[in-house]
Amino acid sequence: MKILRILGTALVLALGAMTVHAQGFNMQSFPDGLGKHEMMYKFLVPEGVTITNQKGEVKKGGSIVMVPGSSIKLLESPYVKEMAKDDAFMTSFMNADQYFGMPAEQVRDFAVISILVPEGVTVEGKSGKTITGPADLVLMVTNGGSEVMQDPHPAGYWDTMGWDMK
């Protein structure tokens, strides 16, 4: 009986620790504009988007994709506006029409990030844009569909895995 109480307490502590390690996707998640190397960023794949990883696994809207912090950069709004003149940047900006089509007061509720798509990973957007790694993918994201947590994977894991797709 005592062992069950100890195991129950250990489970509660473990779940509590996982909750503490998870934090919302916010500007503190990007010191100096870069994703934290020790963190893993979880993204909810939007409806109409398809992601295929290096192993051929396909994830569609509603799935979760985990990306290492070392592959993510936060792009400041003035930089994004300046880069809008660059055709290569606009080609890599998956939801550019949505971002540039909304009023300025709404834009403040979103972040624009650049994700390094690993070799062998393909992202197909609902607008018909396709990005195949290695390449940069620029996205407008919301707090609601993203989460940041401690990366439990060993060093080098992401080099061979691409993105984790749950």
Count Cβ neighbours within 10 Å for each residue of 72-95 and write b for 16 or more, e otherwise: bbbbeeeebeebeeeeebeebbbb
Domain extent, residue 144, equals: 23-165
User: Sheet harboring 64-68: ordered strands across?
Assistant: 23-24, 146-150, 39-44, 64-68, 164-165
Rounded average pLDDT over 151-164: 56
pLDDT of residue 16: 28
Among the ranges given (47-51, 59-63, 95-99, 108-112), the one the predictor scored with the smallest mean pLDDT: 108-112
Residues 6 or more apart whose Cβ sits within 8 Å of residue 32? none
Q: Is 25 exposed, middle or buried (0-12, 13-18, 19+ CB in 10 A)?
A: buried
Evaluate whether residue 40 is within a structural domain: yes
pLDDT of residue 13: 30
Are the C-beta atoms of residues 162 and 118 closer than 8 Å to each other?
yes
Rounded average pLDDT over 88-93: 92
Evaluate whether residue 54 is within a structural domain: yes
What SS3 class is residue 145? Answer: helix
Evaluate whether residue 5 is within a structural domain: no
The total domain count for the chain is 1
Evaluate whether residue 8 is within a structural domain: no
**DSSP H or E run through 50:** strand 50-52
Evaluate whether residue 122 is within a structural domain: yes
The answer to whether the bond into 134 is cis (omega within 30° of 0) is: yes
pTM to 2 decimal places: 0.69
Evaluate whether residue 13 is within a structural domain: no
Asked whether the predicted pLDDT for residue 25 surpasses 60, the reply is no
Asked whether the predicted pLDDT for residue 88 surpasses 90, the reply is yes
Among the ranges given (94-103, 106-115, 128-137), the one the predictor scored with the smallest mean pLDDT: 106-115
pLDDT of residue 84: 93
Cα Dmax for the chain: 68
Q: Which DSSP state fits 91?
A: H
CA pair distance 114, 131, nearest whole angstrom: 12
Evaluate whether residue 133 is within a structural domain: yes
pLDDT of residue 5: 39
Q: Alpha-carbon torsion 19, 22, 25, 28, what sign?
A: positive
Evaluate whether residue 93 is within a structural domain: yes
CA pair distance 33, 29, nearest whole angstrom: 9
